[in-house]
Amino acid sequence: MTWQRYDLIFRLQSPLHIGFRKVGNLMQTRRYVPGKNLWAALTERLTRMAFLAPAFRDYEGIGEALRTYFRFGYLYPALKEGERMRVYYPWQDARYFDYRFLDSYASTALAGAGKSAAAGALHEVEFIRPYARPLGQELSQPVYLKGVLYVQPAWPSDSPLAAWQKALARIQMGGERSYGWGRLRLVSPLKGEQAPKPEWDVSEGEYARAHVLAPAGAGVEGLVEPLVGWERGDPDQGRYWRLTPRPLVAYQPGSKMTQPLHVTLHAWGMWEVAS
């Protein structure tokens, strides 16, 4: 069965923190949304829609089904310019990007009757702003997230995946969700276009719009990082959370192609280069 390609545009309705790393008291956010975060948010919403009291195995089953039939592209901040939507990539001008799209929130726990700050409790959380910081005399503009999604609708007729469009319109993602962060509103119509298998050629000099899984010397130049984080574990084994058991090592988004390459889209949106 052929794939369907969907252009996704979400409007940010609250701050968005996509965990990256901690520097001192500052918890930094990624400047984009990896496909894995979108996959996790849709897995959570679909599972809660399908089961009254979902167990770990329910999340695991739907998550694996999504990995089979979906390919989640990365989402990047965008602003409206007339009738079009302009995407902003952090590697194009990091200082400009950070000024317009990033902010932070500092807080601390209080201790004792004097309501003084608890020792070691001060922390600052960086986030993508729901409204871009204005330049000059312009007005602040709402921030959108733009990306792409590939779907191969070959699942069984009774699968919970059939409700994916309804679930996608109700997702919340990232950190600090209990404080209302990470709320998104889908503003693009979900009209799929028939598409070939999600793979394509990239040109020499092109910048990667996702992490790139590539063997050494494959024609990619950029910073490398291990893709590791906290994931839900199996509570039957006493592990509600665990670090990624098999982390992947990849070139960061914004890496440059030093030769023409052919890439395929990983289930979580990374670009895979054949060895």
DSSP string, 214-235: --TTSSEES-EEEE--EEE--G
Coil vs helix vs strand at 120: coil
Q: How far apart are CA 250 and CA 263, in angstroms?
A: 13
Complete DSSP assignment for 44-89: HHHHHHH-SS--HHHHHHHHHHHHHHEEE--BEEEEEETTEEEE--
Q: How far apart are CA 176 and CA 23, in angstroms?
A: 18
pLDDT at residue 64 in the model: 95
**Closest C-alpha among 15, 65, 62 to residue 173:** 15
Q: Place 109 in a pLDDT band, splitting at 50, 70 and 90.
A: low
Q: How far apart are CA 165 and CA 144, in angstroms?
A: 19
Where in the chain do CATH 3.30.70 domains reside? 3-195
> DSSP code of 268?
T
pLDDT at residue 116 in the model: 59
Residue 112 has pLDDT above 60, yes or no: no
Q: Place 234 in a pLDDT band, splitting at 50, 70 and 90.
A: low
**CATH no. of 3-195:** 3.30.70
Residue 194: which residues within 8 A CB-CB, separation 6 or more? 2, 3, 4, 5
Q: How far apart are CA 84 and CA 78, in angstroms?
A: 10
Residue 238 has pLDDT above 70, yes or no: no
Q: Place 9 in a pLDDT band, splitting at 50, 70 and 90.
A: very high
Residue 257 has pLDDT above 70, yes or no: yes
The answer to whether 185 and 10 are in contact (CB under 8 A) is yes
* Lowest mean per-residue pLDDT among 98-112, 164-178, 215-229, 237-251: 237-251
Q: How far apart are CA 231 and CA 184, in angstroms?
A: 22
For residues 247 and 14, the model is more confident at 14
pLDDT at residue 80 in the model: 94
For residues 18 and 118, the model is more confident at 18
pLDDT at residue 229 in the model: 76
